[in-house]
Amino acid sequence: MHKKTILWSTLLLSTLSDATTPTLQVSYEILDFDHSRKKDNGVREGVGFQLKQEQNFYQVAYEHTHTDTFQPPLDRDLKVDKYYVNYTREFDSDQSLSLSYATIDDNLMEQTDGGDIYGLGYRYKAFAFKQYFSDYKHFDVYQSEAGYTIKKQYQEFKTSLTLVEKYIHLEDKESNNFSKNAKTDYFTTGIKLHAHHQGYQLGVGTFLGKRIFAVMNNGFKVQHHAMEFDKTYMCGIGKVFKWGGVHLKYVYQEATEVPIHNEGVTVQNLIMQVGYKF
């Protein structure tokens, strides 16, 4: 077993040993690539635990992705393991501070294999700010993110609208062929709308503006391959029960494979998530 797998298995067990009412979430995802010269299709399986104890919120997650590749140019299929952890401290109803960490095991892309991603976040009322630092072998990525959430309630119907701005800066990108064709700076804007009524949930969202090596989903998704994403559209439905919940999500993205200047790539993701409260 890989040393990182042993480390994170220990972390999962130590977190659960303190848990009284943890929540388990499992996910299964289908990935489909069109017009890519490297990737065909793939599947992603994930598991995560979260626990809220008074003012402390703990989250850990693991995901494994297996992607069928075109051979040549690649000599084998792509296999990636990612490990995530997040801790949030709520000072009161208006303020919270969060720390996150992620790491990557990639059997093909040595430039980002073993990468460490650190995150620091602060929320004050409706405003949130996050700073991420991705430490890779040959280059580094700095990401600053600001968000503002507007919540409204109409009797039993609850809605939230979140606006997100991301700024991504690449350091030492010229040091290798993997990242040298990327731009130094990227800006992208996201809009997310979520509605909740009697346990039913509906969400839609979009990200417009190019991004690369981005940290997404509050630190629980890292795009570590040299793909420059442009347009992203998301939608999802779900139902919350006393025992947990079920969610189905769809994501459509347009991208460019930067090292080989391959434009017009589309990526479609279909995601099923099931959560269970102990």
pLDDT tens column, 214-261: 999 999 999 999 999 999 999 999 999 999 999 999 999 999 999 999
Q: pTM (2 decimals)?
A: 0.91
Q: Would you state the pLDDT for residue 48? A: 97
- Omega cis (within 30) before 72: yes
Neighbours of 105 (CB within 10 A): 16
Query: Which amino acid is located at 102 in the chain?
Result: A
Is the confidence at residue 127, as pLDDT, over 60?
Answer: yes
Please report which confidence band the pLDDT of residue 17 belongs to, taking 50, 70 and 90 as the band edges: very low
CA–CA distances in Å: residue 122 to residues 81, 126, 226: 28, 11, 29
Pick from 247, 244, 246, 250: nearest CA to 266: 250
Contacts of 75 (CB under 8 A, 6+ apart): none
Spell 239-264 as b/e; 16+ CB within 10 A means b: eeeeebbebebebebbbbbbbeeeee
Both tokens of 211, joined, read 């991004």
User: 3-12, 35-44, 124-133: which has the minimum mean pLDDT?
Assistant: 3-12
